C-alpha cells in the first residue's frame, strides 16, 4: 500500500477541489477524527513533558525564561504533530474515502437522472 504525504497525490481524492478535499478529510469521518484528536492530545502532552522540555533544559535552558520563544517552539511542535496526524489519517482512511466518493457520485448521478426525467416529463 502506498503512503501519500499530500492530499493531491491520493488517488481517491483526485479530481476534487481543495475545499472538497478538506471537507471530505476533516468533516466526514467525525468518529475517527475525534479518536485521533485524543491520541494527538496525549502525544502532545507526553512529547512536551518527556522530549521537548528535557531537550530545552539540556541544550538551551535560557529559552524557558523567554516566554515568546518557548511558546513559539510549542506551537510549532503542535502544528507539526497536527500535520503528521492529518497525513496518517488521510492514508488510513483511504478505503473509507473511496466508499464515500462512490456514494457522492451515486447521489450526483441520481440527481441528474431525476432532473432529466423531470425535464422529459414536461
CA–CA gap between residue 99 and residue 120 (Å, rounded): 31
Grid look-up 502544528 returns 79
pLDDT of residue 55: 94
CA–CA gap between residue 75 and residue 69 (Å, rounded): 10
Number of separate domains in the chain: 1
10-residue stretch averages of pLDDT, the chain, 122 residues long: 84 86 83 92 96 94 89 95 92 89 90 88 69
CA–CA gap between residue 49 and residue 13 (Å, rounded): 37
CB within 8 A of 73, min separation 6: which ones? 52, 56, 63
What is the full DSSP assignment across 52-83? IHHHHHHH-GGGGGSHHHHHHHHHHHHHHHHH
pLDDT of residue 71: 93
Its domain, for residue 73, covers 16-93
Specify whether the CB–CB gap between 81 and 47 falls below 8 A: yes
CA–CA gap between residue 63 and residue 56 (Å, rounded): 7
Query: What letter would DSSP give residue 15?
Result: T
pLDDT of residue 1: 65
In a domain, 82, yes or no: yes
pLDDT of residue 26: 81
In a domain, 1, yes or no: no
In a domain, 38, yes or no: yes
CA 63 to chain CA mean position, Å: 31
Amino acid at each position: 500500500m502506498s503512503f501519500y504525504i499530500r492530499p493531491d497525490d491520493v488517488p481517491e481524492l483526485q479530481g476534487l477541489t481543495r475545499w472538497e478535499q478538506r471537507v471530505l478529510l476533516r468533516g466526514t469521518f467525525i468518529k475517527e477524527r475525534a479518536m485521533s484528536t485524543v491520541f494527538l492530545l496525549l502525544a502532545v502532552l507526553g512529547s512536551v513533558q518527556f522530549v521537548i522540555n528535557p531537550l530545552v533544559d539540556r541544550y538551551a535552558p535560557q529559552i524557558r525564561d523567554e516566554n515568546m520563544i518557548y511558546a513559539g517552539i510549542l506551537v510549532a511542535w503542535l502544528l507539526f504533530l497536527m500535520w503528521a496526524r492529518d497525513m496518517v489519517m488521510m492514508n488510513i482512511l483511504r478505503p473509507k474515502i473511496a466508499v464515500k466518493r462512490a456514494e457522492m457520485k451515486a447521489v450526483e448521478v441520481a440527481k441528474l437522472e431525476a432532473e432529466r426525467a423531470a425535464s422529459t416529463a414536461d
